[in-house]
Amino acid sequence: MGNELNFFGHIRTPDIRMLHDIDDVLYDTEWSRTAKNTELYYMYRDLYRNEKEHEAIRSQHLRYDITVIPPQMLGKEYVKTAGHYHPTVPGASVSYAELYQVLEGKANYLLQRKSAKGIEDVVVVDAEAGDIVMVPPGYGHITINSSSETLKMANWVCSEFSSMYDPIKERSGAAYYLLGTGYVANPKYSDIPPIRYLKPIDPSILELAKGEDMYNLVNSLDKLDFLKRPHLYDAMFSNILSSE
């Protein structure tokens, strides 16, 4: 099959996200009603280099994934993921975090924090190959490929929860759409703040060199403790969110 991924000798087939799987979050609904139901992107879950590393990752309740998003336009809008939030950590008052790295191509990560009053913060991080992006607790997020290249990205995440897609579906997408002409506000949201642009994180936070493959954290999984216990890392997340 053409969409198989060879990860250190392990041949993996993807979960495939189809166009009509994300009809509910598209800007150009008129286009989507008549568009052919094509493949959008490919998700390869629970990857590992060997069985020893797989057992180490599982024992730490973590998961390493890769997602591949070929370039295309969804009508007037650039191709994107469906978008989701993370649930609250049991016994804590914050939600789980997630860590991404662009392996090939370019990505636009759109993060938004909601409260009972609405959306309080919208952040965009533009990232290139080698860059690492943090999704802090409390933020829903989508990934957009606005380039002409295929985007290949990896993520580390706690394996103990299921993502929450409904909050973004209920508003027909994130607070902003990225069109060929730039970002436009989603009218299903009220009083949304302007977009803040942040840089990818400094990899030295994770004791990684610039551009180093973050899969190498498999050798020191304790450095990913913040993915499982984000309530213990308030200062780190605050620094990331204030670093322009």
**Is it the case that residue 243 has pLDDT exceeding 80?**
no
pLDDT value for 121: 97
Residue 188 CB neighbour total at 10 angstroms: 10
- Identify which of 240, 211, 25 has the alpha carbon closest to the alpha carbon of residue 104: 211
3-class DSSP state of 221: helix
Mean pLDDT score of the chain, rounded to an integer? Answer: 96
**Is it the case that residue 1 has pLDDT exceeding 60?**
no
pLDDT value for 147: 98
The span from the CA of 203 to the CA of 172, in Å, is 34
**Is it the case that residue 244 has pLDDT exceeding 70?**
no
Calculated CA dihedral for residues 81, 83, 88, 93, nearest 10 degrees:
120
Angstrom CA distances, 242 to 142, 150, 189, 233, stand at 20, 30, 24, 15
Summarize the confidence of residues 109-131 as an average pLDDT.
Answer: 95
- Identify which of 240, 144, 157 has the alpha carbon closest to the alpha carbon of residue 201: 240
The span from the CA of 193 to the CA of 120, in Å, is 7
- Identify which of 171, 185, 172, 217 has the alpha carbon closest to the alpha carbon of residue 49: 217
3-class DSSP state of 56: helix
**Is it the case that residue 66 has pLDDT exceeding 80?**
yes
3-class DSSP state of 57: helix
pLDDT in tens, 83-118: 999 999 999 999 999 999 999 999 999 999 998 889
**Is it the case that residue 240 has pLDDT exceeding 80?**
yes
pLDDT in tens, 32-59: 999 999 999 999 999 999 999 999 999 9
